[in-house]
Amino acid sequence: MTQLRSITPDLSYKEMMFEAAVKAYNDAGVDPRTDVQSFVCSSEDFLEGTSIFDEYVPDQIGGSLKPVCTISGNGLYSLATAYMQISAGLADVAAVEAHSKASDIASIRGIMSLALDPIYVRPLDLDPYFVGGLEMTRFLHDSGNTREQCALVVEKNRRNALRNPYAAYASLLTAQDVLKSEPVCQPLCRMDVAEPADGAAVVVLASEERAKKFRDDPVWIVGLGWCSDTPCLEARQWGDAVYAKMAANEAFGMAENIRPEDIDLLEIDDSLSFKELQHLEAMGFCGKGEAGPLTERGATKPGGELPVNASGGSLGMGYTFEMAGLQRLCEVVLQLRNQAGEHQVRNAEKGLVQCWRGVPTASGAVVILSSERS
């Protein structure tokens, strides 16, 4: 993964992807031209400003004239696709790519508006984050978590980022600063929303047999799941992250012997402050209404009993759209290899990564990683 930055005017997206790819292949000890049999990229055309973005991905990741495909989704979906390809016997080694060139986008709200239903929602002509505002109101109402607890998530994650050299938005700001920030779609304020960042990430997957040849300390994917709730705002259960609950159920179902209480650290979606609390509850890491109090007493800090987003999360590192899931996965891999540096969580053996595809979607994925094959 490259360092995240608020802008990268000196590099094209191709050059950013190349840097991430070189780092990943070097880390894994593979040559993409001879060892990697499949490449899975992640992009959405309107985020790139280019139609059929799949055209432009192969060269800078070493995939020319090889099996390369694009998943229109978050990097964790691409990871799941590569996992299926390896399980099905199509490849021994696969590379997964995701990136964000958010600074190339000059009208992000205009583009997010294009994701709203053209007949029944878009005519309102409002900041698409209103969908997040609607969710937050209902979530706080149903769960009993408070507005202030959401602000504490921002304080925690931006401070966590101070210890992470990859982060673009590290800061000592406080919960009070968050509450005072400009309202966007109340109760959502400016600082509740993760700021966009540029970066690229590449992850190399290998079958069990090959992985052991490449390195002594591979990190294992022991569970994964992805799920979509209704795309229709009219049919939403506004207070619940059904997608996160169902994806986590699938992932834990696959990871057989692992339960939520066995997880040592989490890197989960916090692209809107309340989402960290909502996702913790949806995935069964605590009961309804307990995530706020847990945050308040510091349990989710890096030294707490359940470290959440020790990296700084999207609030502290920056929001990288379809790369966000892969960014969190890279963080957990570093943690499980005991290479996370200043923000290393002690004795981390099992980690969980989760993504949400952002406003206005109700889709997301969960991956459980372990340093043990189990």
Partner 1 sequence: MLAKKRVAVVGAGMTKFMRRAQETGKELAYEAARMALDSCGLRIQDIESVAMGSAPDAFDGVHMKGEYLIDGSGGWRRPYMRNYVGGGTGVFAAIHGWQHVASGLFDTCLVVCEEKMSSCKPHPQAAFQTIFDNFTERPLGPNLVWIFALEMHRYMHVHKIPKEKIAVVSVKNKGNAMDHPCAQLAQKITVEDVLNSEVLVWPVQRLDISPTSDGAAAIVLASEDVARKITDSPVWIDGVGWNLDTAYWTSRDLYYPQYVENAARMAYQMAGIKNPREEIDFAEPYDPFDYKELHHMEGLMLCAKGEAPTLAWEGVTQRDGKLPICPSGGLLGVGNPIAAAGMMKICELFWQLRREAGKRQVPGDPKTAVAQAWGDLMQVGTVVVMRA
Partner 2 sequence: MGFAEKIQSPKDITHLEGEIPVNYLYTVGIAGERFLRELKENAKILGIRCSRCRLVHVPPRTYCEQCFERLRDWVELTSEGRIETFTICYFSADGNRLAEPEIIAAVKLNGATSAFVHRIRDANDRDIHIGTDVEAVFKEKGDRVGSFLDIAYFRPSRRVRSESH
Partner 3 sequence: MGVRIKEFRGTSLREEDIRQGRVLSVSYRPKAQYLWSAGVAIGRYLAELKNGRIVGRQCDKCGRTAVPPRMFCEWCFRPNDRWIILKDSGMVNTFSVSYIAADATRITEPLIPAVIQIDGTTGAGMLHLIGQVDPKKVEFGMRVQAIWKPPQERTGSILDIKYFKPAER
* Binding residues vs partner 3 (CB under 8 A): 8-15, 18, 31-33, 46, 49, 58-60, 62, 64, 101, 103-107, 109-111, 113-114, 118-119, 122-123
By beta-carbon proximity to partner 3, the closer residue of 48 and 290 is: 48
User: Is residue 141 within the footprint of partner 2 (CB under 8 A)?
Assistant: yes
Task: Select from 221-229, 295-303, 335-343, 345-353 the region that touches partner 1 (CB under 8 A).
Answer: 221-229
Cβ proximity to partner 1, 127 vs 296, nearer residue: 127
Residue 347, Cβ density class (10 Å: 0-12 exposed, 13-18 middle, ≥19 buried): exposed
The count of residues interacting with partner 1 (CB under 8 A) is: 60
When asked if residue 59 is in the footprint of partner 2 (CB under 8 A), the reply is no
373 binds, among partner 3, partner 2, partner 1, none (CB under 5 to 8 A by kind): none
C-alpha distances in angstroms, 309 versus 124, 179, 231, 261, 280?
A: 35, 21, 27, 17, 11
Q: Does 287 bind partner 2 (CB under 8 A)?
A: no
Spell out the residues 6+ positions from residue 126 whose beta carbon is closer than 8 angstroms to its own.
none
What are the φ/ψ torsions at residue 216 (nearest 5 degrees)?
-80, -20
How many angstroms separate the CA atoms of 148 and 39, rounded?
43
- For residue 81, the partner it binds in partner 1, partner 3, partner 2, none, with Cβ less than 5 to 8 A by kind, is partner 1
Binding mask 83-122 for partner 2 (x = CB under 8 A): -----------------------xx-xx--x----xxxxx
Cα Rg of the chain, angstroms: 19
Residue 124 in tokens: 């309102």
Neighbours of 275 (CB within 10 A): 30
236, interface contact from partner 2, partner 1, partner 3, none, CB < 5-8 Å by kind: partner 2
Give φ, ψ of 256 to 5 degrees. Answer: 30, -80
Q: For residues 206 and 82, give the distance between their C-alpha atoms in angstroms, rounded to a whole number.
A: 9
How far CA 133 is from CA of 114, 184, 201, 359, 360, in Å, comes to 18, 8, 30, 10, 11
- Binding marks (x or -) toward partner 2, 232..271, rule CB under 8 A? xxxxx-xx--------------------------------
Least Cβ distance, residue 356 to partner 1 (angstroms): 12
Comparison of 13 and 319: residue with beta carbon closer to partner 3: 13
Please choose which of partner 3, partner 2, partner 1, none residue 185 contacts, taking the beta carbon within 5 to 8 angstroms, the exact cut-off set by kind: partner 2
CA distances for 263 relative to 27, 255, 284, angstroms = 25, 12, 11
The pair of structure tokens assigned to 310 is 């020790």
Q: Is residue 127 near partner 1 by the rule CB under 8 A?
A: no
Stretch that binds partner 1, among 55-63, 146-154, 162-170, 277-285 (CB under 8 A): 55-63
- 362 close to 230: Cβ distance less than 8 angstroms: yes
Report long-range pairs for 129-134 (Cβ below 8 Å, ≥24 apart).
129/184, 129/185, 129/188, 129/193, 129/359, 130/185, 131/233, 131/359, 131/360, 132/185, 132/188, 132/193, 132/272, 132/359, 133/184, 133/185, 133/186, 133/187, 133/188, 134/185, 134/233, 134/238
- Chain residues that interact with partner 1, rule: CB under 8 A: 44-47, 49-52, 54-59, 63-73, 77, 80-81, 83-85, 87-90, 111-112, 114-115, 117-119, 207-208, 225-232, 235, 242, 246, 250, 357, 360-361, 363
Residues that bind partner 2 (CB under 8 A): 9-11, 15, 18-19, 22-23, 26, 46, 49, 51, 106-107, 109-110, 113, 118-130, 132-138, 141, 182-188, 230, 232-236, 238-239
